[in-house]
Chains A and B, each alone.
Chain A
Amino acid sequence: MTTPNHRPAGQWALIFRRFKTHRVAMWCLYLITTIYVLSMFASVIAPYKRDAISLDNAYTTPFSTAPDGSYHVFGTDHLGRDFFTRLIYAARVSLTTAITVTTVSTLIGIVVGLTAGYFGGIVDTITSRMIEFISTFPTFTLLLIAGSIAIQNSDDIPIPALLSQTIGVIMAVNEREGKQVVMIMVIFIALGWTGVARFVRGMVLSIREQLYVESSRALGASHLHNIITHVLPNAMPPIIVAYTLGLSGALVAESALSFLGFGIQDPTPSWGNMLSFANSYMFNYPWMPLVPTLPILVCSLAINYIGDGLRDALDPRVQTEVTRAKRDALLKAIRDRSAAS
């Protein structure tokens, strides 16, 4: 840290310093960043073309040479496509999907939850009822149904071309594949924001009653000023923890959906759909499902460790709120996963 000594370090610098002491979390952060950055250079790193099919080379075992003399680090799949290449591209698809989904649904959740919690009244009643209603739906069932509809009707569902092209560029897929991924993301966001909104609303309700907010209001500060300088910064730490947990939740949910065949569809690689194919050959080639399992395992563990580290690093002043937030997040995680188990 190069913070000058004469000035006290800011809250975020403190948090970051404390986060750095959590060794495992720090390593996990490096790991995830490395994986994601490397996947952005997929076209440079990948030894083969993403969809290069060669049936003669199918089922090559990892660390061995295929019949035609090409070397495959992680072997090849049932169509002879290089696993390593596809894993890198899939990292790009799966991680980008998880990050986009969590970020957008967290942002929506913050805006809705803030409005409902801060202003209360009729806005609060309506949004709370809506959130309650959406959360009575069995989420995973709805994901399956919506996924299946979106996949089968992909030509009839209007998605702005600009959006699917942008996603296509980020994920290195063509526009049609990009459109499909966008649809899956939209479904996840539509079902995902309610949890964040409810959580933020609860926190804002308690922060709003704090004396510092009240005195700021008494001094004549505008609502916008109060929200930006008082409410949001105090609500931020638990939101960040929830965000990391949400990130691993989205990653797992996307791979589960793709694993069952209702998520991202085959030529577009995702760890989930690669696993779903590998799974059907597991009795003849037991190594095969291990290849796509490895990144899912590593990434979900790593993201959870980062969340753990962040939780420990957050300001002790809001510790009670963080514990409550932690428990809410845990409750949500358990609920989500029992739906998706």
Chain B
Amino acid sequence: MATFLIRRLIQMFLVLIASAVVSYVLLYFAPGGPMTGLRQTQQSGRNKMSADDIARIKQRFELDLYIPYRFTRWLVGFPAGPVTIAGQTFLADVAAGCKTPGMVRLRYPDGRTEIIEEGCEVPITFADLVDRRTSRGILFGDFGLSQVMLRDRPISTLIASRLPYTLQLMGASILISIAIGVPLGIYSAVRQYSRFDYAMTTVSFVGSSLPTFVIGIICILVFAVGAKEAGFIYLPPGNAVSNKDYVIPYIGEVIASSTLDRVLHFIMPLGVLVFVNIAGYSRFIRSGMLEVLRQDYVRTARAKGLRERTVVLKHALRNAILPFITLLAGVMAELFGGAAITEAIFNWPGLGRLLVDSIERNDYSVTMGLTMVSIFLLLLGYLITDILYSILDPRIRLS
């Protein structure tokens, strides 16, 4: 067990670093970023910025450093300055980046000229890095600063403001769907080909083949727009709280950001996620149970004269639930990552929408922070699943 854990942790660490490199490279080659708008002002003629301004802005986003240094500073917060060992400083003169790139005017034989950046006029040394704000590194939980969405404020603030909403939505929906979906799946497997089973499989089939945004939009049309028009109780179509008091028939006036208001906003996104998850979970449990119920040991258990309840819950379910656990490996990442599309449709201010917004607005540091966290949680989920598996299934030995 100990060797297994150590080996897995090392493996996890390597995968994490590798995915950090991949996502950093992907986003480094991505367009946009803080310099896009500046290039446009540069071309407009008015408010033309001096080279100093550009250097300053580049410094703020660390765009003036060489990529390997930028990457290590982002990942582990190194180099943050010259290395001091026993009172002596080393590496103070090593160039870490370039403050002003050298300009070279190229003259082509056909008379065209072009100015390109080449070489470096003023380099940035390790000694210059001392006065900069350095993150302690994303591996140690410091996400750095947001570039666009919350200019120069820590990303952790941004995440902290969204996290409660996502935890609330995802936590509630996952718990409710397991609590309902698993028993439904068991019941329809035990009563295979009954009327209940047919109804269940049809509903869950439809639920798991329809995309979430289709279900969400239909829900809004029915329960928000349609119900309001018809004068029934309607639900607010989006956001987590409203900023104005409103009146709902039969319920009366709802005061903005009261508990009732929050609950009303919560119902629809929760309902959609619960419906979709139940459809998936119950189908999964049903097919697993059907397979197990055909096994010899179940027949033996019945032949021993055990009660049907004991046979189903103790002998069958314990075996059928094993694959379900692999399914839950992703749950932690999901809890954190949120449901991007559902959150987008219902305007729910969670982390899933934060991710979509950050990609839309080219706020790469936020995107990378969120991606790293969800990869980490996914890996952790796999690890926990493996351990759980070995506990629940004595046939599996971790080695």
Per the bound structure, the CA–CA distance linking A283 and B217 in Å amounts to 11
Chain B stretch 287-325: residues in CB contact (< 8 A) with chain A: 287-288, 291, 323
CB pair A141–B342 under 8 Å, yes or no, is no
Complex interface: chain B residues within 8 A of A275 (CB): 213, 217
Q: Quick check: is B59 within 8 A (CB to CB) of the other chain?
A: no
The reply to whether A138 and B371 form a contact with Cβ atoms under 8 Å apart is: yes
Q: Tell me which of A37-45, A226-234, A288-296 binds B.
A: A288-296
CB atoms of A152 and B284 under 8 A apart: no
Given A144-B355, A301-B209, A334-B208, verify A149-B30 contact (CB < 8 Å). Answer: yes
Q: How far is the CA of A148 from the CA of B371 in the complex (A)?
A: 15
How many residues belonging to B are interface residues under a CB distance threshold of 8 Å? 63
A260 interface residue per 8 A CB criterion: yes
Residue B232 CB within 8 A of the other chain: no
Determine whether B115 belongs to the interface, using a CB cutoff of 8 Å to chain A: no
Q: Are B356 and A137 in contact (CB under 8 A)?
A: no
Chain B residues positioned under 8 Å from A283 (CB to CB): 225, 237
**B32 touching A141, Cβ below 8 Å:** no
Provide the residues of chain B in CB contact with A62, threshold 8 Å. none
A331 contacts B323, CB within 8 Å?
A: yes
Question: Least Cβ distance of B46 to chain A in Å?
Answer: 26
Complex interface residues of chain B between 199 and 246 (CB less than 8 A to chain A)? 205-206, 208-214, 217-218, 220-221, 225-226, 237
Q: How far is the CA of A261 from the CA of B344 in the complex (A)?
A: 11
CB distance from B368 to the nearest CB of A (A): 9
Verify if A252 is at the interface (C-beta below 8 Å from B): yes
Per DSSP, chain A at the interface is helix
Q: Which residues of chain B are within 8 angstroms of A149 by Cβ–Cβ distance?
A: 26, 29-31
Q: Which of A133, A286, A335 contacts B330 (CB 8 A)?
A: A335
B146: Cβ under 8 A from any A Cβ: no
**A301-B210 contact given A262-B359, A279-B217, A282-B220, CB 8 Å threshold:** yes
Residues of A within 8 A of B206 (CB): 301
B interface footprint on A144-178 (CB within 8 Å = 1, 0 otherwise): 11101100110000000000000000000000000
Bound-state CA distance A48–B366 (Å) is: 44
B27 part of interface (Cβ distance < 8 Å) = yes
Is the CB of A185 closer than 8 A to any CB of chain B?
no
Asked whether A326 is an interface residue with its Cβ less than 8 Å from the other chain, the reply is: yes
- A61 interface residue (CB < 8 Å to B): no
- A138-B333, A282-B220 given; 14 more Cβ-contact pairs under 8 Å: A137-B22, A138-B371, A138-B378, A141-B355, A145-B367, A149-B30, A152-B31, A248-B209, A260-B356, A261-B360, A262-B359, A327-B284, A334-B281, A338-B339
Instruction: Report A's interface with B, CB cutoff 8 A.
Output: 133, 136-138, 140-142, 144-146, 148-149, 152-153, 248, 252, 255-256, 259-262, 275, 279, 282-283, 286, 289-290, 293, 296-297, 300-301, 303-304, 308, 323, 326-327, 330-331, 333-335, 337-341
Jot down 12 A-B pairs with beta carbons below 8 A, ordered by A.
Answer: A136-B378, A137-B19, A146-B26, A149-B30, A152-B31, A286-B226, A293-B217, A330-B287, A335-B330, A338-B280, A340-B212, A341-B273
